[in-house]
Amino acid sequence: MSQQVALPRVALRDVQLPVAAELEQVVDELRRIIAADFPIISEVNEHLLRMKGKLFRPTLLLLSHRAAGGDDARAVTLAAVVELIHLATLVHDDSVDHSALRRGLPTINALFSHQIAVIMGDYLYSRAIIELVRLDDPTPLRVLARVTNEMTVGEMRQLEAHDKLAYGEADYDQLIRAKTASLLSGACEVGALTAAPAYRQALARFGMLLGMAFQITDDLLDYTQPEAVTGKPSGLDLREHKVTLPLIAALARMPADGEGRVVAELMAADQMPSLKQLLQEQAAGRITMGGRLQ
Ligand code: IPE
Ligand code: IPE
Ligand code: MG
Ligand code: MG
């Protein structure tokens, strides 16, 4: 039996309030770290800086730093580095996903080219590493190097999940841990590096679970919200044949020799509009914005 818990609605702005001043510095740090004197790179940089994200990972790092009793000015630089790693993965992810819209603006692959997106992802990531090395502290470097490697394996798992209707919840959990939650966990852990190990581990675990919930919500929003709300194309996961939790959950309640077989046929025949309609009928009333399928 599913249990409904009434939670108060909390705006991201409220969560960010305690670190609002540092978040403004993060944007300046980001601009400093990615600066280039090569024309195409600076042109792409300008576009990227116009695309404003939520700064969720820097927020987590800075809040975690506060929660662990830290007061290190380097936290702002580390927060910028974490956002930069995120940005590099988004630039690559949009190219891999053939996506044309991000944060309400054209993606790098759409506005420039796939080649430029590949090179720029590497440029941004390598700038993040240069900055980490400059801090001359192996601990955040160790955490973030591990996390970025995990993210690449996650993106590879995502490719493997294409068209795979046998993909189950356990596979999906493993995928979202690596692809998304690892960086949120890393952000929380790096914020708490100076704290006692038990504190640091607890915050890393919090970030991991929050990151999984975050990706599940993103995957739901892909099915339920228009691009005017998300700033990204709506329904892209299905069009790209990505098997995510809404599809896994819908398939689980369809008989394999009935609707389940129809889904497989529609997927194989690239009939995405009909498939979307079938899934919507199936899921009608069952998808909640609480990130849970009832
Ligand atoms: C997008 O992350 C990628 C996912 C892990 C779903 P965000 O939703 O945090 O993207 P921005 O940075 O706010 O644009
Ligand atoms: C998250 O997956 C991407 C990364 C963690 C890099 P998605 O492909 O679902 O993210 P969006 O929807 O494009 O932001
Ligand atoms: Mg994507
Ligand atoms: Mg998505």
182 touches ligand 2 (CB under 6 Å): no
Distance 1 CA to ligand 2 centre (A): 31
Asked, colleague to colleague, whether 15-136 and 172-294 share their fold, the answer is yes
Neighbouring CB atoms inside 10 A of 103's CB total 16
Please give the pLDDT value at position 287: 47
Q: Among 188-197, 204-213, 254-263, which stretch is predicted with the lowest mean pLDDT?
A: 254-263
* Residues 9-54 pLDDT 10s: 889 999 999 999 999 999 999 999 999 999 999 999 999 999 999 9
Q: Residue 287 pairs with which residues in a beta bridge?
A: 293
240 touches ligand 2 (CB under 6 Å): no
pLDDT band at 1 (very low <50, low <70, confident <90, very high): very low
Distance 195 CA to ligand 3 centre (A): 34
107 touches ligand 2 (CB under 6 Å): no
Output the CA torsion sign for 142, 145, 151, 156: negative
CATH architecture for residues 15-136: Orthogonal Bundle (1.10)
Residue 289 confidence (pLDDT) above 70? no
Q: Is 242 helix (H, G, I), strand (E, B) or coil?
A: strand
d(CA 68, CA 144): 19
Contact of 253 with 173, CB cutoff 8 Å: no
Please give the pLDDT value at position 251: 87
* Residues 220-245 pLDDT 10s: 999 999 999 999 999 999 999 999 99
180 touches ligand 2 (CB under 6 Å): yes
Nearest by Cα to 26 from 71, 69, 80: 80
57 touches ligand 2 (CB under 6 Å): no
pLDDT band at 272 (very low <50, low <70, confident <90, very high): confident
Higher pLDDT, 94 or 286: 94
* Residues 166-189 pLDDT 10s: 899 999 999 999 999 999 999 999
Contact of 150 with 182, CB cutoff 8 Å: yes
Residue 293 confidence (pLDDT) above 70? no
Higher pLDDT, 261 or 121: 121
Q: Is 287 helix (H, G, I), strand (E, B) or coil?
A: strand
Please give the pLDDT value at position 284: 62
103 touches ligand 1 (CB under 6 Å): yes
Higher pLDDT, 125 or 257: 125
Please give the pLDDT value at position 288: 45
| Phi/psi-derived region of residue 167, left when phi > 0, alpha when psi is between -120 and 50, beta in every other case | beta
Residue 265 confidence (pLDDT) above 80? no
* Average pLDDT value for residue range 72-100: 97
Query: Which ligand 1 atom lies nearest to the CA of residue 179?
Result: 5
Q: What's the maximum distance between 2 C-alpha atoms anywhere in the chain?
A: 60
* Residues 112-123 pLDDT 10s: 999 999 999 999
Output the CA torsion sign for 163, 168, 171, 176: positive
Residue 60 confidence (pLDDT) above 90? yes
pLDDT band at 269 (very low <50, low <70, confident <90, very high): confident
Q: Which two tokens stand for residue 233?
A: 């194309």
Query: Which ligand 1 atom lies nearest to the CA of residue 83?
Result: 12
CATH architecture for residues 172-294: Orthogonal Bundle (1.10)
E-only strand ranges, the chain = 101-102, 105-106
Q: Name the DSSP class of 101.
A: E
Q: Residue 223 class from Cβ within 10 Å (0-12 exposed, 13-18 middle, 19+ buried)?
A: buried
Contact of 254 with 281, CB cutoff 8 Å: no
Please name the residue whose Cα sits nearest to atom 10 of ligand 1.
53
- Domain ranges across the chain: 15-136, 172-294
Q: Name the DSSP class of 106.
A: E
Contacts with 160 (C-beta within 8 Å, 6 or more apart), sequence order: none
Residue 291 confidence (pLDDT) above 70? no
Radius of gyration from C-alpha coordinates of the chain: 20
Contact of 22 with 71, CB cutoff 8 Å: no
Q: Residue 11 class from Cβ within 10 Å (0-12 exposed, 13-18 middle, 19+ buried)?
A: exposed
